[in-house]
Amino acid sequence: MAVEQRPEIEALLAEERRFPPDPTFAAQANARADLYEEAERDFEGFWARLARERLDWSKPFETTLEWDLPFAKWFVGGQLNVAYNCVDRHVERGLGDKVAYHWIGEPGDTRTLTYADLKREVSKAANALLELGVRTGDRVAIYMPMIPELPIAMLACARLGAPHTVVFGGFSSEALAGRIDDAQAKVLITADGGWRRGKPVNLKGAADVALQSSSSIENVLVVRRVAEAGEPVEMRPGRDVWWHEIVDRQSEECPPVPVDSEHLLYLLYTSGTTAKPKGIVHTSAGYLLGTSYTHWAIFDVKPDDVYWCAADIGWVTGHSYIVYGPLANATTGILYEGAPDTPAWDRWWQIVEDYKVTILYTAPTAIRAFMKQGSDFPARHDLSSIRMLGSVGEPINPEAWLWYHEHIGGGRAPIADTWWQTETGMILITPLPGITTTKPGSATFPFPGVDADVVDGEGRSVPPGGGGYLVLKRPWPAMLRGIYGDPERYRQTYWSRFEGVYFAGDGAKRDQEGYFWLLGRVDDVMNVAGHRISTIEVESALVDHPAVAEAAVVGKNDPVTGQAIFAFVILRTHAEPSDALIRELREHVAKVIGPIARPKYLLLTPDLPKTRSGKIMRRLLRDVAEGRPLGDTTTLADAGVVELIRSSTGREEE
Ligand code: 7RM
């Protein structure tokens, strides 16, 4: 697992451009420079102060941190309710009429939810879950489009202390079934569908297939979203219940259940280096503090801001920075259901103009997709409301950074390039607007209280200018508490590579001024359009097809999606190579995992490059995929193989 020497990174480190904070922005910024010193003096005391100031407790905590490496407990002895902190307390303080979400459906329908509306809807949904037998501690699976009932469902679970596991609506029924089984979820909340590029996505149909092969679900709660458009929906009597039939008639009162700080808030499944996704465990108080405080400090959120995190709630970015963090801060947010190009490539800029969005948080892959369409689309709209921008999901290349800065941020808005993971729960490496001088392409510095380092293969800190592996050296409040049901895998995956520190799986460099530059994954995880997909997951999906004998998958650099999936496939002897078969194999992966995992390139090959011990040499396959000269081939069992692959045909491009 060597950190590859990438020429583009060397170019980055020579990056001369600096963007110092604008004094006018700095004068009104939420963050203060002395936060770094305060947190460094006593990081536990820093988080304890914030936990007392920013959260409402049913019972105050006694111990800030119990750290039994690698198991952390934050705010021990305390009790609170996450939904109360996100909704009720704002209503009690007179913010009932403040908008929580402006929702925009892809077809153009809209809904506005105030904090009072949210309190009512969340309470009714929680009462419906109670009627279906959901109790504190029971797991609820959620498989929904980006409609208001999605955050409502999550908060209804949190109100009862029933952990949720949200499965991204773009995942397949097989992926959904696996997550339901692992979580042993009792109820599934879904919708008859959602709108994407003008077409309904049949979620209920996929859910029904998932339920044929999973056994724990007793009831399915179904939101009606596309049925009005004449889409047929099958409801199984005794199991399936329409949301409007059960939720609408519930009482608007539902007392929030106080839970321990370390009570399980949710599971979110993410790809690792094996075929089986890991259920990342997030608990209540520390997670809520970490997400809400970073949201406030990094995005400089003020009471009148209109904040838009354009991720899907099905990913951790949506959990932390659309739902929990922003709501705990009583923020007004935007929720958009559909695709950025529907009906045209200026849909987002129309939304920014219509709602006077002030803060926008999105991913480099989206920025590059907009760049590709040209700056005319944003130029047609009044984007002058924007005062702050954020980026997340993958390294942002300076070209995209500068385009974002100029064409979306009007050359004024600071950009926060935020590094974090599903596992970290909250942003950990980021500039603070008004304080940090940014450099395009660098996520800059660890957040106050966070101790990050770059180490070599032996775990020794690398001096400025050098590259290595990114590690985290002390616990933080929103950190994962484990992998659901598998403490040993938790220890193995994150805490065994280097003694006593958290191994993030990312390569990083620090320049002479101490700025962090993230270099991408150093393990077998690909990052496709900001989505984590493991090479092994795709390989397992391929070999699951009767025509496939063996498969190896690598990420190939892609100008829009960061990486694209490149699959090398050896067919079984009975299978006839053809374009139709290549298409079928690509579709098969989309069916097994979800459309985001459909290989962009698929090459049929007679053999794969292996070491003498039989390990596939992905490094050489990456060379082939990139069309560059081969690296060292001396450890290959059969040196002729790569040339054989190069001359193979059957490469499919989208
Ligand atoms: C939030 C999220 C995590 C992986 C992580 C990195 C990559 C995320 C950045 C980044 C460079 C960034 N969660 N990553 N943000 N790389 N700069 N600002 O994306 O669990 O889905 O992915 O994403 O490789 O390990 S995630």
* DSSP letter for each residue of 463-486: PTT-EEEEEE-S--TT---EETT-
Whose CA is closest to atom 22 on ligand 1?
Answer: 421
* Six-digit token string for 630: 């081969």
Mutate to test the pocket of ligand 1, among 479, 518, 533, 561 (most ligand atoms within 8 A of CB): 518
Tell me, what's the pLDDT at 636? 67
Q: Read off the pLDDT of residues 49-79 as tens digits, 9 standing for 90 and up.
A: 999 999 999 999 999 999 999 999 999 999 9
306: Cα within 13 Å, side-chain hemisphere: 18
| Final residue belonging to a domain, choices 507, 542, 576 | 507
| Final residue belonging to a domain, choices 477, 507, 537 | 507
Dist CA 450 CA 89 (whole Å):
29
Whose CA is closest to atom 11 on ligand 1?
Answer: 395
Relative to beta strand 359-362, strand 306-309 is: parallel
Dist CA 323 CA 317 (whole Å):
9
- Specify the 3-state DSSP secondary structure of 241: strand
Least confidently predicted of 32-41, 395-404, 484-493, 633-642: 633-642
CA of 505 to the centre of ligand 1 (A): 10
216 is a domain residue: yes
Relative to beta strand 140-143, strand 187-191 is: parallel
Q: Read off the pLDDT of residues 302-330 as tens digits, 9 standing for 90 and up.
A: 999 999 999 999 999 999 999 999 999 99
Relative to beta strand 259-260, strand 306-309 is: unpaired
2 is a domain residue: no
Residues 602-606: what's their mean pLDDT? 92
Mutate to test the pocket of ligand 1, among 309, 365, 392 (most ligand atoms within 8 A of CB): 392
* Six-digit token string for 388: 């702050």
User: What is the atom index within ligand 1 of the atom nearest the CA of 521?
Assistant: 24
For residue 220, give its domain range. Answer: 7-507
Report the domain count for the chain. Answer: 2
Question: Same structural domain for residues 237 and 366?
Answer: yes
CA of 382 to the centre of ligand 1 (A): 31
Question: Same structural domain for residues 502 and 535?
Answer: no
For residue 86, the tally of other CB atoms under 10 A from its CB is: 29
Q: Read off the pLDDT of residues 330-358 as tens digits, 9 standing for 90 and up.
A: 999 999 999 999 999 999 999 999 999 99
Question: Same structural domain for residues 277 and 219?
Answer: yes
CA of 531 to the centre of ligand 1 (A): 9
- Specify the 3-state DSSP secondary structure of 144: coil
- Specify the 3-state DSSP secondary structure of 64: strand
Question: Same structural domain for residues 226 and 310?
Answer: yes
Tell me, what's the pLDDT at 640? 76
Q: In the predicted model, is pLDDT for residue 637 greater than 80?
A: no
Tell me, what's the pLDDT at 521? 83
Which residues are within 8 A (CB) of 392 and not within 5 positions of it... i.e. 6 or more apart? 311, 317, 361, 362, 363, 417, 418, 419, 420, 427, 530
Q: What are phi and psi of 152, to 5 degrees?
A: -60, -45
Least confidently predicted of 463-467, 519-523, 582-586: 519-523
Question: Same structural domain for residues 554 and 451?
Answer: no
Let me know: does 562 contact 530? Beta carbons within 8 Å: yes
Whose CA is closest to atom 4 on ligand 1?
Answer: 421
Whose CA is closest to atom 26 on ligand 1?
Answer: 421
In the chain, the largest separation of any two C-alpha atoms, in whole Å, equals: 73
CA of 416 to the centre of ligand 1 (A): 14
Tell me, what's the pLDDT at 614? 67
Let me know: does 599 contact 591? Beta carbons within 8 Å: no
Strand partners, 297: none
* Six-digit token string for 281: 């465990």
Q: Which residues line ligand 1 (CB under 6 A)?
A: 270, 316-317, 392-395, 417-422, 443, 504-506, 518, 520-521, 527, 530, 532
pLDDT band at 610 (very low <50, low <70, confident <90, very high): confident
311 is a domain residue: yes
Run of H or E residues at 270: strand 264-270
CA of 400 to the centre of ligand 1 (A): 16
Question: Same structural domain for residues 491 and 550?
Answer: no
Which DSSP symbol is given to 444? B
Q: Read off the pLDDT of residues 353-372 as tens digits, 9 standing for 90 and up.
A: 999 999 999 999 899 899 98
Q: What is the CATH number of the domain that holds 385?
A: 3.40.50.12780
Residues 222-227: what's their mean pLDDT? 93
Question: Same structural domain for residues 214 and 351?
Answer: yes
Q: Read off the pLDDT of residues 417-440 as tens digits, 9 standing for 90 and up.
A: 999 999 999 999 999 999 999 999
What is the overall mean pLDDT for the chain?
93
Dist CA 609 CA 8 (whole Å):
27
Tell me, what's the pLDDT at 573? 85
pLDDT band at 644 (very low <50, low <70, confident <90, very high): confident
Question: Same structural domain for residues 534 and 503?
Answer: no
- Specify the 3-state DSSP secondary structure of 636: strand
- What radius of gyration do the chain's Cα atoms show? 24
Question: Same structural domain for residues 405 and 552?
Answer: no
Question: Same structural domain for residues 424 and 384?
Answer: yes
Dist CA 331 CA 321 (whole Å):
11
Q: At residue 103, what is the residue type?
A: W
CA of 419 to the centre of ligand 1 (A): 6
Mutate to test the pocket of ligand 1, among 291, 420, 525 (most ligand atoms within 8 A of CB): 420
Residues 83-87: what's their mean pLDDT? 99
Q: In the predicted model, is pLDDT for residue 8 greater than 80?
A: no
Which residues are within 8 A (CB) of 504 and not within 5 positions of it... i.e. 6 or more apart? 421, 423, 424, 469, 470, 471, 472
Q: Which of 341, 305, 347 is nearest to 326 (CA)?
A: 305
381 is a domain residue: yes
Run of H or E residues at 506: strand 502-510
Question: Same structural domain for residues 203 and 236?
Answer: yes
Which residues are within 8 A (CB) of 644 and not within 5 positions of it... i.e. 6 or more apart? 605, 606, 607
CA of 39 to the centre of ligand 1 (A): 24
Whose CA is closest to atom 17 on ligand 1?
Answer: 395
pLDDT band at 550 (very low <50, low <70, confident <90, very high): confident
Tell me, what's the pLDDT at 649? 46
Whose CA is closest to atom 3 on ligand 1?
Answer: 421
Question: Same structural domain for residues 498 and 587?
Answer: no
468 is a domain residue: yes
400 is a domain residue: yes
Residue 75 — left, alpha, or beta (φ > 0 → left; ψ -120 to 50 → alpha)? Answer: left
User: What is the atom index within ligand 1 of the atom nearest the CA of 518?
Assistant: 11
Q: In the predicted model, is pLDDT for residue 652 greater than 60?
A: no
CA of 394 to the centre of ligand 1 (A): 5
Q: What is the CATH number of the domain that holds 641?
A: 3.30.300.30
Tell me, what's the pLDDT at 654? 39
Q: Which of 570, 556, 542 is nearest to 621 (CA)?
A: 556
* DSSP letter for each residue of 373-428: H-THHHHTS--TT--EEEEESSPPPHHHHHHIIIIITTTTS-EEEEB--TTT-S--
CA of 527 to the centre of ligand 1 (A): 8
517 is a domain residue: no
Tell me, what's the pLDDT at 186? 98
Q: Which of 144, 214, 174 is nearest to 589 (CA)?
A: 174
CA of 446 to the centre of ligand 1 (A): 14
* Six-digit token string for 310: 């354009």
pLDDT band at 536 (very low <50, low <70, confident <90, very high): confident
User: What is the atom index within ligand 1 of the atom nearest the CA of 315?
Assistant: 21
| Final residue belonging to a domain, choices 507, 541, 570 | 507
* Six-digit token string for 631: 């690296």
Helix, strand, coil fractions of the chain, as percent rounded to 5: 35, 25, 40
Mutate to test the pocket of ligand 1, among 421, 522, 533 (most ligand atoms within 8 A of CB): 421
Which residues are within 8 A (CB) of 291 and not within 5 positions of it... i.e. 6 or more apart? 320, 321, 324, 325, 328, 425, 426, 478
Residues 294-300: what's their mean pLDDT? 98
514 is a domain residue: no
Mutate to test the pocket of ligand 1, among 532, 537, 561 (most ligand atoms within 8 A of CB): 532
